[in-house]
Structure 1
Amino acid sequence: MEKSDLSHHILSRYNDDLERVRTNVLQMGGFVEEQLKQAVTALVQGDSRLGEQVARGDQKVNAMEVSIDDDCSRILATRSPAASDLRLIVAVIKTITDLERIGDEAEKIGYIGSRLAAVERPADRYREIKHLGRLVGDMVHEALDAFARLDPEGAVAIAKKDRLVDEEFEAIQRQCITFMMEDPRTIRRALDVLWVARALERIGDHAKNVCEYVVYMVHGKDIRHLSMEDVEKHLQSRSQRQQESLPPAR
């Protein structure tokens, strides 16, 4: 076998390993996204069986995290990745941690939804929770899409939506406090709703984290402690410099 053929074979195997890891992350993300959607549905519709099903599904999320983590450890040990490949592996390890925590929050919502199914639903049928759940679900979906497309600009735009999530959470918090003050009999249910809203707010934070890892993967810049406005300016400036460095069209 020619040396060039051997190198090509090794490189092809390496690329396959990296692509498989990325694919598995997206599969894990898709499952977690569905868990979140079903958890909110279980609460809103008062479906205790669905809530319990979501809670049991967290074991699958944990197994996916362990499997992907093992793959990353093997690649680090056997391939010694550098530059963009190393950033990919680091970003994947961080991303699956956030996805696993989204699964944990979905599990909480599933348990609470299962318990609240036995309680009379309010007249608004948890309208605020449904709206917040849709907002957070969109963030998770779009963050995974940015991860798949390696789109840092799109990732930053998605991360900025976390402010809307925080505002919705604060509104639900004020509403629950008002209900508890006006009628002490609603305290138990209001606290459960508050826990659900808090879980959704945390899921928004994890989706934002995934977006930050996308920027790190593509540009090698850690933006965790920067404002999204500063990050946008940095990316725009970088894009402008790259365009100016291109040779003029003939």
Structure 2
Amino acid sequence: MDITSDIHSRHISRQFNQELEELKTHLMAMGGLVEKQIQEAVVALLDGDSDLARRVVENDRAVNDMQIKIDGECTQVLARRQPAASDLRLVLAVIRAASDLERIGDEASKIARNAADLIEGNNGSRGFVEVRMISEHVRRMVRDALTSFARFDTELALKLVHEDEEVDEEYRTAMRSLMTFMMEDARSISPILSLMWILRSLERIGDHANNLAEYVVYLVKGLDIRHTDPDDLDERAITRKE
């Protein structure tokens, strides 16, 4: 059943409505914090700001705490309300989404740690163009994934599933470029490896944003598209599968 035909405002219990809305609100707040973590980790690298890099690492604990809080709230809703249909899908989607946001926070922390190492070694700015380009792309994906979740927007979610393939190609291109740098100058191996780990973290963030988009389709349409070829997915095809 499409969630738009079973909207939460029809619950007899106003308190239940409020609990479901709070789950979404807290997930969006966690998403906002995670998006900020990504931005600040990359800014720390590009600006050579070691203090900012350390703050990003320290703030990862706040992301973890938010996931624990959301998981606890979802558990209480499941135990007290025993939700069915779209309500159950919402709770399950929030649990899954919070897990992916926590992992995005972990990747942002890894970026910040590698940035701190590069800053300490004063290793120049080689590879920063690639980092800037991919980081802007995946940050936009995370923001759009959260927007699609908040609005139950499957069209935007499906767009993100296709965008993940673009990030993967950008990542492969950047890695080939950095490999060339290492072959040309053996002294660059250590800093280039740190940049490769940063790019790997950014690519993983794109994967997690893709997961968030897939949860939106599950939430709204009740369909699991995790192992479906993106070329087979569009709004019309999903509508036919209902």
Q: What is the TM-score when the length of structure 2 is the normalising length? A: 0.92
Q: How far off is 1:116 after superposition? A: 1.1
Per-residue deviation, residues 159-195 of structure 1 (Å, max 9, x unmatched): 2111111111111111121111111100000000000
- Count of residues in Structure 1 that have an aligned counterpart in Structure 2: 233
The change in CA–CA distance for 1:123 and 1:75 in structure 2 (over 3 A counts) is closer
Q: Displacement of 1:19 after TM fit? A: 0.3
CA distance in 2 between counterparts of 1:228 and 1:157 reads 10
CA distance in 2, matches of 1:151, 1:50: 34
Gaps of 5+ in 1: 1-7, 243-250
Offset of 1:58 from its aligned partner? 0.4
1:236 aligns with 2:236: yes
Residue aligning to 2:47? 45
Cα displacement (A) at 1:203: 0.3
SS class of match (1:81): coil
Contact 2:127 2:195 in 1 (8 A): no
Match of 1:5 in 2: none
Q: 1 CA distance for matches of 2:171 and 2:11?
A: 52
Distance across 2 between alignment mates of 1:48 and 1:125:
18
Residue aligning to 1:90: 92
One-letter amino acid of the counterpart of residue 68, structure 2: V
Could you tell me how far apart the structure 1 residues matched to 2:110 and 2:95 are? 23
Q: Secondary structure at the match of 1:223?
A: coil
Name the % identity: 45
What residue in structure 2 maps to residue 56 of structure 1?
A: 58
Partner of 1:32: 34
- The gaps in structure 2 that reach 5 residues or longer are 1-9
Paired with 2:82 and 2:125, the residues of 1 have a C-alpha distance of: 58
Could you tell me how far apart the structure 2 residues matched to 1:30 and 1:196 are? Answer: 21
Alpha-carbon distance in structure 2 between the residues aligned to 1:173 and 1:158: 22
The TM-score with structure 1 as length reference comes to 0.89
> Quick one: which amino acid aligns to residue 83 of structure 2?
P
TM-superposed CA distance for 1:120, in Å, is 3.0
User: Which protein is bigger by CA-based radius of gyration?
Assistant: 1
User: Using CA pairs below 8 Å that are at least 6 residues apart, which structure has the higher relative contact order?
Assistant: 2
- Tell me which of 204, 207, 211 is aligned to 1:205: 207
